[in-house]
């Protein structure tokens, strides 16, 4: 009785091994020769614009089956599970429009992990304060969107750019205000400050004369 049970278990294990290996090999064979590839040819394919961006990806490939499936279908006729283009609402790296910024500090104050630094000065001809420093640390940003939501002038926004890989950590800390613009703003701030003092002084003198 024990011998027959042992033989039954032995051949049962062989049958299970053969069937599971055969099933796995059939899935591999079917995927390789009879199904379209599900891989987008990045970076040759620009997933922001949804089109090929170099000569390595021709727009059409006149390859008869099964070679089209084996070598990869044209990205223009891609029918895989992924989208060939990023959606407009994709949250990529943060962008910044210096001309719209009023240095209100709301973005920095609402950032839960302090990745934004903002400083500004008052100059003539500029609503609010002109930014002298606007820094974003992309290495820490978690793309929560709080800074985008609270910005009253839409100066901070999400881009669709996702390529942030770098070999140097410091390149992930982005300075949006150049050193030249920084110095220029400080000089303009001094001029505006002197004019404000002179204006205040004249106002006091006029009030004293009227009294």
Assign 48 to helix, strand or coil: coil
pLDDT for position 67: 46
pLDDT for position 137: 95
What predicted TM-score, i.e. pTM, was given to this entire model?
0.65
pLDDT for position 126: 87
For 162, other C-beta atoms within 10 Å of its C-beta total 13
Residue 114 backbone zone (phi > 0: left; psi -120 to 50: alpha; other: beta): left
- Using omega within 30 degrees of 0 as the cis cutoff, is the peptide bond preceding 66 cis? yes
pLDDT for position 205: 77
* Protein fold of 94-206: Alpha-Beta Plaits (3.30.70)
Long-range contacts for 30-35 (Cβ within 8 Å, ≥24 apart)?
A: 32/69, 32/70, 33/66, 33/69, 33/70, 34/66, 34/69, 35/69
* Residue numbers in the chain where pLDDT is lower than 50: 60, 63, 65-73
In the chain, CATH 3.30.70.3270 covers 94-206
pLDDT for position 1: 56
Q: Which two tokens stand for residue 33?
A: 């020769």
Query: Which pLDDT tens digit goes with each residue over 172-201?
Result: 999 999 999 999 999 999 998 888 888 888
């Amino acid at each position: 009785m024990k011998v027959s049970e042992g033989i039954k278990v032995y051949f049962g294990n062989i049958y299970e091994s053969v069937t599971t290996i055969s099933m796995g090999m059939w899935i591999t064979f079917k995927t390789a020769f009879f199904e379209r590839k599900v891989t987008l040819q990045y970076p040759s394919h620009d997933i922001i614009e949804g089109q090929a961006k170099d000569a390595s990806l021709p727009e059409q490939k006149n390859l008869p089956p099964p070679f089209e499936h084996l070598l990869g279908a044209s990205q223009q006729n891609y029918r895989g599970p992924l989208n060939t283009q990023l959606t407009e609402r994709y949250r990529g790296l943060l962008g910044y429009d210096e001309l719209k910024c009023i240095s209100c500090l709301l973005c920095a104050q609402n950032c839960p992990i302090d990745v934004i630094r903002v400083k500004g000065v008052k100059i003539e001809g500029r609503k609010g304060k002109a930014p002298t420093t606007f820094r974003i640390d992309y290495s820490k940003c978690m793309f929560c969107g709080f800074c985008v939501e609270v910005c009253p002038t839409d100066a901070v926004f999400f881009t669709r750019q996702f390529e942030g890989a770098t070999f140097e950590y410091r390149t992930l800390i982005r300075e949006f205000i150049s050193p030249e613009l920084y110095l220029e703003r400080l000089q303009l701030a001094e001029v505006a400050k002197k004019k404000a003092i002179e204006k205040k002084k004249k106002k006091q003198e006029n009030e004293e004369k009227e009294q």
